[in-house]
Structure 1
Amino acid sequence: MITTPYVPGSLLWVDLGSPDVAASADFYGALFGWDFQSQGPEAGGYGMFTLDGKIVAAAGPLMQEGASSAWTVHFHTPDADATAKAVEQAGGSIRMAPMDVFTAGRLAAFTDPTGADFAVWQPGDTPGLGAVNDPNTLCWAELHTADPERAKAFYHSVFDWQIQDMSMDGFTYTVVSPAGGGEDARQGGIMGLSDEMRQEGWTTRWRPYFEVADCDAAIGVAQESGGEVAMPPETVPGVGRMAALTDPFGASFSVITSATE
C-alpha cells in the first residue's frame, strides 16, 4: 500500500505519455471516472487527471520521436541531482537530466540497467498525488524484468529500498518498500519475465496498478472503450482479483480489486 505523506523512495506520481491526450482522457474518464485538466500551453499539453477534486495521475503528449505510449512511475527524491549520480553509479542511464518544473518540483527520468524506464520527483509546491489506494487511484507498481537480481541491487543502491523475496507458486516475487517504512509501506513488486510472458509480448517495464471496486466490471468498460486484455482476470488468495490491460494506444497497466480481511 502506498503511504502518505511521501518519504524518500516512495511511489508518489504516475503519468501517461500519449499520441492523443484527448482520446486517452476519454478512455480513462470512462474507465475510472477521471476528469482531465490541462495545465495550459506553457505546460506543453501536459495536464492532470483528477477524481473528486484530487490529482490521481497525469498525462501529456509523447515528446521523443519514435516513442510509444506508456505509463511512467515516479519515486520521491529529496535531491534529484544526487539521485542522477546514484543512478549512473549503479549502472543505470539518464533519459532526462534533472530540471525544474516551474515551482512544482524538480524532475528527472532514467532507465535502469535491465531496460525499465522510471522517473523521480523532488517535490516543490506539488508533493505528489492527492489520492492513492482508493477506488480508481494508483495503489501499486510492478517491475517485470529479465534480470530481477540486477534490478533489486540497482533500486536498493539508488533508493535504499527494503526488499523482501516471497515464494509464490514456483516463482519468486520481490516486494519493495521505502527504507524504514515497514510492511505497511509496501508499494510495489519485482518479478522475472517468464517464457510464457515473453511469448505473449511482455517486455521489461514498470506497470502501474489501479484499485477498482470490481475488476471484471472494469475489464468490460475498458474493452468497450477500445482497450484490450493482456492478462485475463485472476484471483490471488490474500491479494485480490486483478487483470492486465492495455489502453487504445498500447499503454500497459493493471487493475485490481484488493482482498479485504
Structure 2
Amino acid sequence: MSAHHKINYIEIPVTDIKVAKAFFNSVFDWQFIDYGPDYCAFDGVGIDGGFFSAKQNVSTANGSVLVVLYSDDLVATQANIEASDGKIVQAIFSFPGGRRFHFTDPCGNEYAVWSDK
C-alpha cells in the first residue's frame, strides 16, 4: 500500500515530557527517542509520532482530534491507567462494534481506549 496521502505522523502537545513518557511507558509499554528537552518521538505504536512541550493540552471539549488506542482487555487497561495517575473521564460504554472509555493522562490530554471484545 502506498503511503501517498495517508496519515503518517502525529504530534501531541504535553505539559511535561518526562511525565508523559513515564505514563505511556508504564501503561502501554511505549518507547521513546529524545530529540532535546522539548521533543521526543515514538514509533511502533500503530502510528509514529511525538510529544512536544506546550502549555496547552488536547480534549474533545476543546474540539481536539481524539487519539483512540486499542486494547484486548479494557478493564485491565483502565486499571493500569488509574494506577499510573491517569484519570477516567468517561466510563466504559458500548457502541456499535465494541466498547470504549476516555481518560486523561497526567498532563491532562484526553485519549480513548476501545475494544471489540
Shift of 1:55: 6.4
Supply the distance in 2 between the matched residues of 1:232 and 1:57 (Cα, whole angstroms).
27
Matched, 1:60 2:52: yes
Matched, 1:6 2:3: yes
CA change 1:57–1:217 in 2 (3 A) is: farther
1:232 to 91, 100, 103: 91
Structure with greater contact order relative to length (CA < 8 Å, sep ≥ 6): 2
Shift of 1:14: 2.0
1:24 to 13, 20, 43: 20
Percent identity over the alignment is 17
Q: Aligned residue for 1:195? A: none
Structure of higher CA gyration radius: 1
Q: Aligned residue for 1:38? A: 34
Provide the TM-score with structure 2 as the length reference.
0.83
1:6 alignment partner, SS class: coil
Give the root-mean-square deviation of aligned CA atoms.
2.4
CA change 1:235–1:55 in 2 (3 A) is: closer
Q: Is the 8 A contact 2:9 2:47 kept in 1?
A: no
Matches within 5 A, 1:172-191: none
- Structure 2: tracts of 5 or more residues without a match: none
Provide the TM-score with structure 1 as the length reference.
0.40
2:12 alignment partner, SS class: strand
Supply the distance in 1 between the matched residues of 2:38 and 2:62 (Cα, whole angstroms).
28
